[in-house]
Structure 1
């Protein structure tokens, strides 16, 4: 059984077995069910936008963001003015980072091939990958303007072949956020709206007088935005149900405690409920990392967030070997998993449940979040058990088709009619019968 050196959250018993089953008392983890108050507020906002369109959007924006411009959609001139406010170095860095995302997304798209096969004489079956027509991308603002999210959602959709992308981001200090707008423009957004929160997500999903509804919503956001996507799912597609960001570091005696600590705190600073966990096969490394975390918190500018997150949602588990570490890591099924061990690729071959894997100390979650090219919209709250993160495939519909010549239709029709009657679908069976009668001569 794993030894728990630190599991500070109230109610956590600290028991994890090799099978990975965790026991806890006292309710959901950080990524648990939505707050009933959040659910109710979001439902009210979506209902208002659905019923009153632009008028409701304007009222909500004024109430929540103190932002009520003549038009929420930026003109070309306004976008150019925002870009002009950004330094050449920042623009160059944005272009470089976005090019990495674009290159990887295009490589992913190139790996997806249309299929057509003749499964038997005269029967042709196939599938095609068809881009979604209209996508809405939400780019968060607030304390952390998520400029990298523009590339992750807008640019990836464009790489998939999406024809029209609407992008929304909240205002900053009563004005369009110049850096975020520049990132959205460089990523290829067809429309940019300075509009935040649930009202933005609802407007894109249900449509208003000035915003044509989309078919799919992408992009991260706070608890209210996440709940809005949850409530709108089905009416539109969504990328993921996202909760607080998560990091798991798997480390052995070769790991650098300073790097372990920096990487855990780098994700803990996302929010007060962001889980950060360490699985260590070496007690000395685990205790050194704990001490290093406390040292780094003394000078970290975001310690007001990272400190409480680590205090309340930080965990350190000491295990006997890498096999036990791998079993426990798969049980966590965390969004980000860093492997800081002597043989990181052993975990690449072994692990099955994670959002994104970071192999060796040469890379870190921040690279994936901002610059290296993989997508940072990833599953949380255990969703890595059944899905991966955002990629070009999320913006494609894989649709099938079939075609039969007369002889094949007659052969299949006889069998299919019998199958239909076994299920008591006489109408189905007769749709087969008419083809058998029509094409019977083709069998000769």
Structure 2
């Protein structure tokens, strides 16, 4: 059993707002469904104090915005996007169409077809998360999606120019400065000026997540996302300063980020706690990171790495960082995680910002049953079948007749009987 030398605080009572989020979101969606652009504008004014002549950026506006982005930022965006593109292309090449002949004259196959249209939500809020443009828009385009619209909110009444640059360079076909529930609903439903999409990807706050949840079914979505999570597995050789730094790097995402250390060394665990407390006196984002650490931070001491990996699998965390002598051992020992980060030279921030793997990942233990966003999420695997042999058609017809009547599906049975009749000339009472 693990020994917790720091435990998460008792779960706070739900804030009054949390119980009203679904109702608020439903009201916005219903209004936009009925009133289109007029409702979108109303909620943009209400929630973001944003009501431009057009939410959609023209080509001229995009070029003007990008011209004001520092040259180094543009170079960095292009370099990061090239990393993302290379990995996404390799993933796409790993997905193959197939066709087999399961018996003479019976051909079965599947094809991987890109979704026709995708909406990408690029969050704003506290930070301009321009990296989300790479992960959603660029990945969809690499999958072969023909139309991708990107939506991102204004930040303090201003257009986030670096985010717009990232969206444009990622290949967005249209860019809207529009955020929140109104953006998700407009993309999912379609309005006079916003084309309806088939799928929406991208992280967001509780309202955005709820909007995606409520629209699921009308459109596809990538994941039901929650707050960012980080978990570090460390042995006695790990550096507590590195552990503390990396825990806080994720805790600054917001006030509700679980930041967990599982270690085989009590000394490492206690030193990490001390260093975290020291770093929080200097970190510019300490207000957010500190709240996450105080409320959701945990440090568990275990007997050995086998126990550490088993406990980490129970957490099923979004980001799992392995700081041990043999980090690749986790590839064999662990099953439940959004993404693994192996060794001291690798950090979760690389995955968030630059390395090329996708940072839209499962949270709230969803890693038990799904991975994160990738090229495959933007593809539909569809099957087809063809029977080219009359003999095979007759044989399957007889089998179908028997199988369908065992389930009392007479119509199905007769469809099979007909193929038997066409192949063999056999007679049935229902055939006239």
- TM bracket, shorter-chain basis: over 0.9
Q: Does 1:432 align with 2:416?
A: yes
Q: Does 1:151 align with 2:134?
A: yes
Aligned equivalent of 1:214, options 197, 209, 212: 197
Distance 2:336 2:305 in 1: 16
Q: Does 1:43 align with 2:26?
A: yes
Where in structure 1 do 4 or more consecutive aligned residues deviate above 6 Å?
Answer: none
Match of 1:408 in 2: 392
Distance 1:203 1:387 in 2: 27
Q: Does 1:244 align with 2:236?
A: no
Aligned equivalent of 1:202, options 177, 185, 193: 185
Match of 2:7 in 1: 7
TM-score by length of 2: 0.96
> What residue ranges of structure 1 are gaps of 5+ in the alignment?
12-25
Q: Deviations over 1:417-440 (max 9, x none)?
A: 101000000001011111110112
Q: Secondary structure of 1:235's match? A: coil
**Distance apart, 1:273 and its partner CA:** 0.7
Q: Deviations over 1:395-430 (max 9, x none)?
A: 000000000022111111101110100000000101
Q: Does 1:380 align with 2:363?
A: yes
Match of 2:47 in 1: 64
**Distance apart, 1:212 and its partner CA:** 1.2
Q: Deviations over 1:356-390 (max 9, x none)?
A: 00000111110000100000000000000000000
Aligned equivalent of 1:399, options 379, 382, 394: 382
Q: Does 1:82 align with 2:32?
A: no
CA RMSD, Structure 1 to Structure 2 (Å)? 1.4
Distance 1:35 1:124 in 2: 53
> What residue ranges of structure 2 are gaps of 5+ in the alignment?
427-432
Distance 1:233 1:257 in 2: 43
**Distance apart, 1:441 and its partner CA:** 5.8
Match of 2:429 in 1: none
- Listed as ranges, the matches of 1:177-326 within 5 Å are 177-326=160-309
Q: Secondary structure of 1:387's match? A: coil
Match of 1:167 in 2: 150
**Distance apart, 1:66 and its partner CA:** 1.1
Distance 2:18 2:160 in 1: 30
Q: Does 1:420 align with 2:404?
A: yes
Distance 2:22 2:268 in 1: 42
Q: Secondary structure of 2:36's match? A: helix
Match of 2:113 in 1: 130
Q: Secondary structure of 1:344's match? A: coil
Distance 1:392 1:314 in 2: 33
Distance 1:135 1:97 in 2: 22
TM-score by length of 1: 0.94
- Listed as ranges, the matches of 1:340-359 within 5 Å are 340-359=323-342
Q: Deviations over 1:215-247 (max 9, x none)?
A: 000000000000000000011000000000000
